[in-house]
Amino acid sequence: MTDLVLTEQQDQVLVVRINRLDRKNALTHDMYTALGDALTTAEQDKTVRCVLFTGSSDCFTAGNDLSDFAKGLPGAFEHTPVGRFLLMLATATKPVVAAVNGPAVGIGTTMLLHCDFVFAGSNARFQMPFVNLGLCPEGGSSLLLPSWVGRARAAELLMLGGAFSAEDADRLGLINRICDPEQTEPTALDTCHRLAAQAPAAVRATKQLLNRPVQDTLIDTLKTEGALFSERLKSPEAAEAFKAFMEKRQPDFSGFD
């Protein structure tokens, strides 16, 4: 159990709050376990019809905890807490909504590619800095991002790894609406309640059909990315990037080939 992820049921909506503000909501193994558990509860509990992922008014998540990354993944990807969480998210049958304010880095962005609705505060900053960290895409992003926004934009966002704004995300079609940061969560919650009031089997069938174009390859992509990501975590490039982050400097990749 961890109090760094809080769950609370509001009527038929399971609200899952990432709650580690002193570390910008960076996700540890225990936190991924709690996120996966929340999705398991949502799947099994008939009183839950929708899941909302949220953080605070100024932070969604800074992605994976970089100190954890530096130690590598504990085992084969699909058996790790992050692997289990991503596989559950990719196969969730009930609608998943996200309310995103402030930083949404790494998995903070890639998990949104699986969500059915994303509401972003005007202060949201998205980024997938995998290559910047000597890593490679995760979370199904090498399949979902080009599918949702096109190959050219996916290459730009994944290879250059720059941050982008709520307006950019809106233009790319990655989010549903930009909100005043204080209104992001209430707006998302309102949509959750509207989804929960819809015919549940019809919502599930619609989600299944919307996911169908990528469904066959998504699980394989997650596992392939996971294996490669695990290898990259052990690379000298990643070691330099993590060291640079801890030392609050830019990484120097000039010596690598």
Q: State in angstroms the smallest separation of the CB of 66 from ligand COA.
A: 4
Q: Please provide the DSSP assignment of 71-117 as one string.
A: T--SSSGGGSHHHHHHHHHHH--S-EEEEE-SEEETHHHHGGGG-SE
17 vs 49, beta carbon nearer ligand COA: 17
244: helix, strand or coil: helix
138 vs 185, beta carbon nearer ligand COA: 138
Q: State in angstroms the smallest separation of the CB of 93 from ligand COA.
A: 28
Q: State in angstroms the smallest separation of the CB of 75 from ligand COA.
A: 19
| CA–CA gap between residue 232 and residue 238 (Å, rounded) | 7
Q: State in angstroms the smallest separation of the CB of 62 from ligand COA.
A: 3
| CA–CA gap between residue 70 and residue 128 (Å, rounded) | 18
Strands across the sheet with 50-54, in order?
5-10, 13-18, 50-54, 96-100, 117-121, 177-179
| CA–CA gap between residue 92 and residue 113 (Å, rounded) | 13
169 vs 195, beta carbon nearer ligand COA: 169
Task: Report the interface residues with ligand COA, using CB under 6 A.
Answer: 23-24, 26, 62-67, 103, 105-106, 129-130, 133
58 vs 170, beta carbon nearer ligand COA: 58
Q: State in angstroms the smallest separation of the CB of 194 from ligand COA.
A: 31
On whether the CB atoms of residues 164 and 157 are closer than 8 A, the answer is: yes
63 vs 181, beta carbon nearer ligand COA: 63
On whether the CB atoms of residues 92 and 57 are closer than 8 A, the answer is: no
Q: CB nearest ligand COA: which residue?
A: 106
Q: State in angstroms the smallest separation of the CB of 224 from ligand COA.
A: 18
26: helix, strand or coil: coil
115 vs 124, beta carbon nearer ligand COA: 124
Q: State in angstroms the smallest separation of the CB of 248 from ligand COA.
A: 7
| CA–CA gap between residue 233 and residue 70 (Å, rounded) | 7
Q: Report angle CA 131, 221, 164 to the nearest 5 degrees.
A: 40
17 vs 232, beta carbon nearer ligand COA: 232
35: helix, strand or coil: helix
